Amino acid sequence: MEVPFKRFMRNKHIFIFIMALLYVVLICACHHNKSEKSLQSEADLSGCVIGAVSGTSYEIELTQRKDVKVVRFPTPTDCIVALKNGRIDAFVYDEPAINNDVRKKNGIKLAFKTSKSYPCGLAFRKEDYALVVKFNQFLSELKTSGELQEIQNKWFNAYHYDSVSMTTDNAPIATDGELLRVGTSQTIAPISFSVGKDWRGFDVEIAKRFGRYLGRPVEISLYDFAALAPALQSNAIDIVIGGVFITEEREQLLTFGDSHFSCYGGFFVVDENSQINDGFREGLKRSFNNNLLVENRWEFLARGLWVTIRITLFSIFFGTLLGVGLYLMRKSRYHWLNSIANGYAIVLRGIPMVVLLMILFYVIFTGFNSLVVSIIAFSMTFACFVSSMMNTSIQAVGNGQNEAGIALGFTRWQTFRYIIGPQALKKALPHFKSEAVSLIKNTSIVGYIAIQDLTRASDMIRSRTFEAFFPLLLITLIYFVLAWLMSKLLDYLFKWGTKI
């Protein structure tokens, strides 16, 4: 009994996992002293701590109020968690996005709606007037026929979004027209959200109908909000949907079509009357059901996992090849090759990974598949590591043995193959392993260029279920398993590689 437990604790992955759990628990335990007054209008917010999703109009407007402390979160899910933990008094988000179902499940309620409403629209590339004109034409037809109101009512009044059918569902898909590429950063019902591989929601239906109107097939991809404008400008997409507020600032960069609906913001607070106190087991069961089984949401994770695995393995493979090439260039007798290799290392070392990814995707390899671009980006940085690792570990073996090999009559390559290589490999293995493992985790930034990897998959589930931790813990577990498998795989390859 004693020995397995020790072995269990010795495994550093498991140890780190436990530490991460502790960390989460600690964070949850940090409470903020609530102000007791009830919130009825915007004037009552004075002196309160308010959560807002960064980059939204609400956040920008609240920030201008000196009497309110604004706390910024990446998603409304995080706002809900903070609210429930008492770290904030209220949070503000699109009122329709936090529907009754979400409110009930999370024990929160609407305190009041914003006094003004915000017009939302579809955004187009600045110089793409032809498409904007066509869209406005299309929209006014929808309005006059009363269909727009119908669609809006259908989505905004629904209780179970998955049962709402889209008028485009059974319509024949245009196959001959040029692809209409649509980008969204929203994965929240009812505006734009995904069910399995399908995109659904109010904005999605508008976009699909517009595609049918034009006779063009529609492709929808998920982008980070910050990446939407560059994606439009670099021709990666044609239209942005997802409840985008029309603001003056954005109109300088993009062109908006006519507004197709207006949205009120809602300030949400804890609902004291709600009782969602099922026990730990019940809660876990419910989370499992909500996050994985409903709508087959586990498929997000499965697909995301497969993407993460492919990016990691291909990047390690090509990065290692490129790294060996770089090393040989560094050691070449031609001065210009050394300079290229050194310059490459210096430049790459200075670029943050996200920036590199964005530059490659939006500037250099425009038109390439985003998965391929991400593999290129990660291979490039991994190559830097591999070449410097080779340098250190080969140097650590020492030139003496190299000379001894040469003096015996081995060629330079044979000396490397039989003498230097196996020893350098052994010295390099631990570093290579830890770099490969951290690569797995580093790939989680590919969301910036519209790739739905494992992390992105959990974000999508979270934005549907509004659950804070279950999806995160789940992918943490998956990353741990991946890390463990990776180090086993490398051990195996190493054993195979050093057999003479």
Instruction: Give the footprint of other proteins on this chain (CB under 8 A).
Output: 397, 400-401, 403-411, 414, 418-419, 422-423, 426
Least CB distance to other proteins at residue 339 (A):
14
CB-based contact 453:304 (threshold 8 Å): yes
Least distance CB 409 / other proteins (angstroms):
3
Tell me how far apart the alpha carbons of residues 435 and 5 are, in angstroms, rounded to a whole number: 28
Question: Of 419 and 475, which CB lies nearer to other proteins in the complex structure?
Answer: 419
Q: Identify the three-state secondary structure at position 371.
A: helix
What gap in Å lies between CA 207 and CA 203, rounded to an integer?
Answer: 6
The residues pairing with 391 across neighbouring beta strands, listed in sequence order, are none
Task: Name the β-bridge partners of 188.
Answer: 192
Q: Which is nearer to other proteins, 420 or 486 (CB)?
A: 420
First-last CA distance in the chain? 40
- Which of 226/404 has CB closer to other proteins? 404
CB nearer other proteins, residue 356 or residue 397: 397
The minimum distance between CB 398 and other proteins, in angstroms, equals 8
111 vs 267: CA distance, rounded Å:
6
Kindly list the distances between the CA atom of residue 445 and the CA atoms of 2, 41, 122, 436, 440, in Å, as whole numbers in the listed order: 41, 39, 26, 16, 11
Name the residue nearer to other proteins (CB basis): 37 or 412.
412
Min dist CB 397 to other proteins, Å, is 8
Please report how close the Cβ of residue 402 comes to other proteins at its closest, in angstroms. 9
In the complex with other proteins, the residue whose CB is nearer, 172 or 400, is 400
- Minimum gap (Å) between residue 498 Cβ and other proteins: 9
Least separation in angstroms between CB 323 and other proteins: 22
For other proteins, the closer CB: 173 or 408:
408
- Taking the complex as a whole, how short is the minimal distance between the CB of residue 412 and other proteins, in angstroms? 10
> Contact at 8 Å (CB) between 260 and 120?
yes
Cα–Cα separations (whole angstroms), residue 196 to 112, 293, 296: 34, 11, 7
How many angstroms separate the CA atoms of 74 and 449, rounded? 17
Least distance from C-beta 417 to other proteins, angstroms?
9
Measured CA to CA, the distance from residue 406 to residue 427 in angstroms comes to 22
> For other proteins, which is the closer residue by CB, 285 or 412?
412
Q: Using CA atoms, how far apart are residues 106 and 104, in angstroms rounded to an integer? A: 5
State the minimum distance, in angstroms, from the CB of residue 407 to other proteins.
4
Tell me the DSSP string of 227-270.
HHHHHHHTTS-SEEEEEEE--HHHHHHSEE----EEEEEEEEEE
- Are 230 and 366 spatial neighbours (Cβ–Cβ below 8 Å)? no
Angstrom distance (rounded) from CA 93 to CA 89: 14
Number of residues in the chain: 500
Q: Measured from the CB atom, is 137 or 414 closer to other proteins? A: 414
Nearer to other proteins, 130 or 500 (CB): 500
